[in-house]
Structure 1
Amino acid sequence: EYKLFVKIRDDIKQSIKRIQDLADAVAAIDVLQSFAAVSEEYRFVRPTLTNKHIVDITDGRHPVVEKVLGHQQYVPNDVNLAEDTSILLITGPNMSGKSTYMRQMALCVIMNQMG
């Protein structure tokens, strides 16, 4: 038994690079498949990337807030930060969604960079 174990171990040791490469490929496919499934389920769209220094989001949604709300209506928000925009002032009463709006914008930008 021990000799068989040593032989199998040595065979695996010789193939470790190929096994690790295969594991990396499977992991990449798993991530891409998960992105595709979530994108379809939540109706996410593929971003349009340009060389311009703008953020233009139409009907942006905060995925966590939308999930927590469940069947309640979630109101999507637009964001338009043009190249000539140096400041954006967000005002409103307490608990009106200012912080959620900013987090939503940040999440949309991060998800955009992820593809």
Structure 2
Amino acid sequence: MAQAPEAELEMLQGFKEQLEGERDAITQEIEGLESRIEELTRMIEEGVPPSSAPYFGPMPFWGPAPYGPAPQPEQERLMLEQQAEALEQQIEAIKKRLEELRRGG
């Protein structure tokens, strides 16, 4: 069963917000890397000995981007209800097919 257009719209808007949050975090990481690359390139070109290079500590953790903002309670409720309905339909389809197979079909 398809979702109601309003519910799907809300779900997609929430997903878009999450992806935009991830994009912002990735953009910040890229900007930090670009800055460090430029700094290291200048140091190499200027022949700065490694001992005089400033220490910046360990590199940042390279993992998945943080999640975007949490959905509003009503939006989350709608998404969970839709997900539960979809799962129930899948379970019913599985049960129906199992019964067909038991009968030899």
TM bin, normalised by shorter chain, reads 0.3 to 0.5
The TM-score, its normalising length taken from structure 1, stands at 0.31
Between structures 1 and 2, the one with greater strand share = 1
The TM-score, its normalising length taken from structure 2, stands at 0.34
Larger Rg: 2
Between structures 1 and 2, the one with greater helix share = 2
Higher RCO (Cα < 8 Å, 6 or more apart):
2
